[in-house]
């Protein structure tokens, strides 16, 4: 008797005579829902952005760090109704542990600092891929790369000025000016003083801020239940939002007095005036930001045309380490996503063309069986630090030049033929069309002098 598995195999093929005819199930060619592939042109764009994120950070003496994309779910179980914790890409792993793809980087940074206790102050940056899982299939992305820049251990607004300076340097490096983008600045301390004035208890402050931030996106009716649960009346919300429209710190100080939060904002503006970047900034009492853990100054970069969502956002979060059981540690930072900035660069016509790559040489053998010779010439050029492609199959000259153009080769080196018999190669400049003959033995030296 055939074993049951063989019988199964035969039965599964009963529909036709031989297994080879059974078509495999069609493969889904798309990446998982809400995620992106990065074929070379898109990866060149990503590398362009990351290189400038990195140079703006390094120019200010920041050090790069990284951590696993997978984190324990408990790192994000803040009960403040934030989108970022309500849309966790979380699951139970095979050891039945509750884990999640990180939705943001700051809690991981806090975990690392608590665990390794680096000497403070630290100035660290990272460009992590962060994830969310939205139940409603709104077709929104489920992953993005978010440049994070943080200063830990500095109590004064000098830390806010430093990270804003990093952001401004990045914008300048991609050709964005203060007429394209502004940075709205506010302080949770001001909002806190207003909430106190309305009799809202301190322990409801973080959740209330998250709700007020949501008010910008949904009508107050949609949040009525949440507001009532916090004991906040619609009248209180109305009187709060009437004050939050102020864009003049003096007007706000008439309401909340010359409190430490107002002094901090004033100091930030005067330092940025001295630094020469104040025309990027504007005070805006309505800026809240949606993360519950901000405790002081908050800021967000926006496009002045008003067509795009916030480009970046950040603020002071002095209580985060304590909330994890650590020592009180001042901290300031921002997150800068990789999506809105690309839309902005497209709108401003500031996006370079990444369709083609760049390679200095394409080496081609016109003789049959000459590929190894072409590879040897290529290695001579690589020894001098050149980027060199080699045509790896027997191809006609016309194909080789078309291929060279496709890969963005600056020059084509033709090996073999009459020149080959004289120990020479022909080099064609793809831009000018100029041709020259070079001795194979001297090609490295020649390449150093072009």
Is 399:440 a contact under the CB 8 Å cutoff?
Answer: no
Per DSSP, 199 falls in state: T
Q: Identify the sign of the CA torsion 152, 157, 162, 167.
A: positive
- DSSP string over 119-154: PSPEEEEE--EEE---SS-----SEEEEEEEEEES-
CB of 140 to ligand 4JN, least distance (A): 7
Q: Which of positions 365-404 make contact with ligand 4JN (CB under 6 A)?
A: none
In the bound state with ligand 4JN, the residue whose beta carbon lies nearer, of 89 and 125, is: 89
- Note every long-range contact of 244-250, with CB atoms under 8 Å and residues 24 or more positions apart, other chains counting: 244/191, 244/194, 244/212, 244/285, 244/286, 245/285, 245/286, 246/285, 247/282, 247/283, 247/284, 247/285, 248/283, 249/283
Is residue 130 part of the contact set for ligand 4JN (CB under 6 A)? yes
- Which range of residues in 139-147, 294-302, 345-353, 396-404 is near ligand 4JN by CB under 6 A? 139-147
Piece of the chain touching ligand 4JN by CB under 6 A; list 9-17, 129-137, 177-185, 292-300? 129-137
Q: Nearest distance from residue 236's CB to ligand 4JN, in Å? A: 29
Q: How far is the CB of 157 from ligand 4JN (least distance, A)?
A: 27
Identity of the residue, 123 or 132, whose beta carbon is nearer to ligand 4JN in the bound complex: 132
Exposed/middle/buried for 369, CB within 10 Å: 0-12, 13-18, 19+? exposed
Q: Check binding of 143 to ligand 4JN (CB under 6 A).
A: yes
Q: Which residue has the tokens 């998250």?
A: 210
Q: Minimum CB separation from ligand 4JN for residue 306, in Å?
A: 21
Contacts of 332 (CB under 8 A, 6+ apart): 150, 151, 154, 159, 160, 163, 296, 297, 314, 315, 316, 317
Question: Whole-angstrom distance between the N-terminal and C-terminal Cα of the chain?
Answer: 76
For 172, other C-beta atoms within 10 Å of its C-beta total 15
**CB-wise, 209 or 265, nearer to ligand 4JN?**
209
Shortest reach from residue 450's CB to ligand 4JN, in Å: 45
Report if residue 144 touches ligand 4JN, rule: CB under 6 A: yes
Report whether 226 contacts 211 (CB < 8 A).
yes
DSSP 21: G
For residue 230, count CB atoms less than 10 angstroms from its CB and return exposed for 0-12, middle for 13-18, buried for 19 or more.
middle
The residue from 56, 84, 191, 340 that contacts ligand 4JN (CB under 6 A) is: 84
Q: How far is the CB of 326 from ligand 4JN (least distance, A)?
A: 23
In whole angstroms, how close is the CB of 81 to ligand 4JN at the nearest point? 15
Tokens coding 360: 């200095």
Binding segment toward ligand 4JN, per CB under 6 A, in 55-63, 126-134, 221-229, 362-370: 126-134
Q: Which of 357, 364, 304, 277 is nearest to 44 (CA)?
A: 357
Cβ distance to ligand 4JN smaller for residue 101 or 332: 101
Shortest Cβ distance from residue 130 to ligand 4JN (Å)? Answer: 4
Helix (H) / strand (E) element for 374: namely: helix 371-383
The residue from 103, 182, 192, 313 that contacts ligand 4JN (CB under 6 A) is: 103
Q: E-strand spans in 271-356?
A: 281-283, 297-303, 312-316, 331-337
Q: Which stretch binds ligand 4JN (CB under 6 A): 124-132, 147-155, 255-263, 377-385?
A: 124-132
CB 260 within 8 Å of CB 189: yes
Q: Give the nearer residue to ligand 4JN in terms of CB position, either 84 or 122.
A: 84
Of 142-150, 154-162, 326-334, 412-420, which segment contacts ligand 4JN by CB under 6 A?
142-150
**Contact between 141 and ligand 4JN (CB under 6 A)?**
yes
Rounded CA separation 436/431 (Å)? 14
- If binding is defined by CB under 6 A, does position 131 make contact with ligand 4JN? yes
What is the gyration radius of the CA atoms in the chain, in angstroms?
30
SS3 call for 416: coil
Contact 280, 181 (CB under 8 A): yes
Complex with ligand 4JN: residue 36 or 382, whichever CB lies closer: 36
Q: Binding residue for ligand 4JN (CB under 6 A) from 132, 246, 411, 426?
A: 132
Would you say 142 or 204 has its CB closer to ligand 4JN? 142
- Provide the minimum distance between the beta carbon of 60 and ligand 4JN in the complex, in angstroms, as a whole number: 25
Instruction: Give the CA distances from residue 89 to residues 95, 105, 143, in Å, rounded to whole numbers and listed in that order.
Output: 17, 14, 10
Given the complex with ligand 4JN, which of 143 and 150 has the nearer CB atom?
A: 143
Residue with smaller CB distance to ligand 4JN, 146 or 186: 146
Binding of residue 104 to ligand 4JN (CB under 6 A) = yes
Query: Shortest gap between Cβ of 339 and ligand 4JN (angstroms)?
Result: 7
How big is the site for ligand 4JN, counted in residues (CB under 6 A)?
10
Nearer to ligand 4JN, 182 or 290 (CB): 290
Which residues make up the interface to ligand 4JN (CB under 6 A)?
Answer: 84, 103-104, 130-132, 141-144
């Amino acid at each position: 008797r055939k074993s049951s598995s063989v019988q199964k195999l035969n039965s599964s093929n009963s529909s036709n005579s031989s297994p080879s005819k059974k078509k495999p199930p069609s493969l889904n060619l798309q990446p998982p829902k809400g995620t992106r592939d990065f074929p070379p042109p898109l990866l060149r764009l990503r590398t362009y952005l990351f290189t400038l994120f990195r140079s703006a950070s390094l120019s200010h003496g920041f050090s790069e760090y990284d951590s696993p994309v997978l984190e324990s779910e408990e790192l994000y179980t803040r009960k403040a109704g934030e989108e970022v914790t309500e849309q966790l890409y979380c699951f139970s792993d095979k050891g039945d542990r509750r884990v999640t793809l990180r939705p943001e980087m700051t809690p991981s940074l806090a975990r690392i600092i608590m665990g390794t206790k680096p000497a403070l102050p630290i100035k660290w940056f990272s460009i992590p891929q962060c994830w969310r899982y939205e139940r409603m299939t709104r077709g929104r992305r489920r992953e993005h790369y978010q440049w994070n820049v943080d200063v830990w251990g500095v109590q004064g607004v000098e830390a806010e000025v430093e990270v804003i300076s990093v952001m401004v340097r990045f914008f300048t490096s991609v050709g964005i000016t203060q007429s394209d983008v502004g940075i709205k600045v506010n302080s949770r301390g001001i909002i806190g003083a207003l909430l106190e004035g309305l009799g809202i208890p301190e322990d409801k402050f973080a959740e209330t801020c998250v709700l007020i931030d949501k008010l910008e996106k949904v009508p107050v009716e949609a949040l009525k239940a949440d507001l009532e649960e916090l004991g906040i009346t619609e009248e209180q919300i109305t009187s709060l939002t009437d004050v939050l429209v102020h864009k003049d710190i003096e007007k706000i100080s008439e309401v909340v007095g010359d409190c430490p939060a107002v002094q901090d904002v004033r100091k930030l503006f005067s330092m940025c005036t001295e630094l020469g970047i104040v025309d990027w900034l504007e005070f805006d009492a309505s800026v809240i930001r949606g993360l519950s853990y901000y405790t002081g100054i908050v800021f967000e970069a926006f496009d002045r045309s008003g067509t795009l969502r916030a480009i970046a956002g950040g603020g002071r979060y002095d209580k985060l380490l304590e909330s994890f059981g650590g020592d009180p540690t001042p901290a300031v930072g921002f997150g800068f996503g990789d999506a809105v900035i690309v839309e902005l660069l497209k709108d401003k016509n500031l996006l370079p063309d990444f369709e083609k790559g760049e390679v200095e040489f394409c080496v081609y053998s016109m003789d049959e069986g000459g590929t190894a010779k072409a590879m040897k010439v290529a290695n001579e050029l690589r020894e001098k630090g050149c980027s060199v492609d080699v045509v790896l199959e027997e191809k006609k000259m016309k194909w080789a030049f078309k291929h060279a153009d496709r890969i963005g080769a600056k020059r084509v080196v033709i090996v073999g033929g009459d020149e080959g018999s004289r120990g020479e190669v022909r080099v064609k400049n793809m831009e000018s069309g100029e041709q020259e003959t070079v001795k194979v033995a001297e090609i490295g030296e020649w390449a150093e002098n072009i």
